[in-house]
Structure 1
């Protein structure tokens, strides 16, 4: 599967949200991101929702703290980089639950911030490609199951072999200039309407 990693130019144009208390670490992180060329805004306490235009979010992951990242509960398209002050099982579980793409540790060091953003964006883009591929495969599988079911319905209705029933359905779909999966769905819907009526007459 081919895919394009992010370029440095695209990183430099990124809009970055930093969710961290206003302290030396926050200042150092924001300054380094601005040196890279990113547009940066800092927020604290954590917002309920991220700005819609956010490309990357650096956020303090501190499960023991009193502030909660309510925005985790919403679907987030932004690349997520967790900022941690220590490592323990609770912090690691929180990072995994948030589906963070990268981690930076405190105290913040300017060296490595660019690499962290690049790796996080690379992983996020690859994840998007995989999810899109899975969605396409899922749609294909659903269509195949739909076609198989419609083929069996036609086979029983018209007393044809399944191969002949499939050929008839395919020919009808081509004649009506519609996809075979749409044709199959129409057949199944029609069968659902006819079957109860026929049972009443029996």
Structure 2
């Protein structure tokens, strides 16, 4: 991928940054706006995530453990990626980070270039996982429909499972159609 296409991934992304250093965050938000992002900032961590957020950058603070846990749980429910911003010199944060399980971790002190790279990588990974889940769900649904069609054939014609499968495969080959289409036809034709 070229630099332009990588940066284009950020165009239109709505992110919310929870960070106490308002001056450096404002400068970072201005840089993100130039890249086409819609960035908002607040501190301390709110009880809820902004409704339009697609990515969260969240400064990790041991004194904010309860609000952080609430935010992370809410983000998981929405399948919203979080980049934790943590002080790498504070060993007390390690157990909290393990508990929270962010999608990525970056240095708490804002480094615009490093954060932009981390954001692009996190968004790519999350989108890839979403595509994999969609493919997995489609395969599962396909398997369930094939199993349902086999069950209909077994019940209707007294076939065993392999016989029902062979009949569907043969019908699919004879009509030059997919197994999914054949399974749908079997279900709609024979199931009442």
Fold similarity call, TM over 0.5: yes
- For the Cα contact (< 8 Å) 2:9–2:120, is it kept in 1? no
Alignment partner of 1:138 out of 121, 137, 140:
140
Q: Aligned runs of 1:24-39 on 2, under 5 Å?
A: 26-36=22-32, 37=34, 38-39=37-38
Q: Distance in 2 between matches of 1:71 and 1:185?
A: 46
SS in structure 2 of the partner of residue 40 of structure 1: strand
C-alpha distance in 1 between matches for 2:26 and 2:128 = 26
- Aligned counterpart, 1:184: 187
- Asked whether 1:71 is paired with 2:71, we answer yes
5+ long unaligned stretches in structure 2: none
* Unaligned ranges ≥5, structure 1: 1-5, 191-202
The equivalent residue for 2:155 is 153
Q: Larger RCO: Structure 1 or Structure 2 (Cα < 8 Å, ≥ 6 residues apart)?
A: 1
Aligned partner (choices 108, 127, 143) of residue 125 of structure 1: 127
Map residues 56-135 of structure 1 onto 2, 5 A cutoff: 56-62=55-61, 65-69=64-68, 70-74=70-74, 75-85=77-87, 86-87=90-91, 89-96=94-101, 100-135=102-137
Aligned length: 170
How far, CA to CA, are the matches of 2:189 and 2:133 in structure 1? 29
Measured in 2, the distance between the counterparts of 1:148 and 1:63 equals 56
Superposition CA RMSD, Å: 3.3
TM-score with structure 1 setting the length = 0.66
TM-score normalised by length of structure 2: 0.69
Contact 2:168 2:182 in 1 (8 A): no
Greater C-alpha radius of gyration: 1
Where in structure 2 are the equivalents of 1:170-181 lying within 5 Å? 180-181=183-184
In structure 2, the CA distance between the partners of 1:77 and 1:163, relative to structure 1 (3 Å rule), is closer
Give 1 or 2: higher helix fraction. 2
Question: 1:78–1:182: structure 2 CA closer, same or farther, 3 Å change rule?
Answer: farther
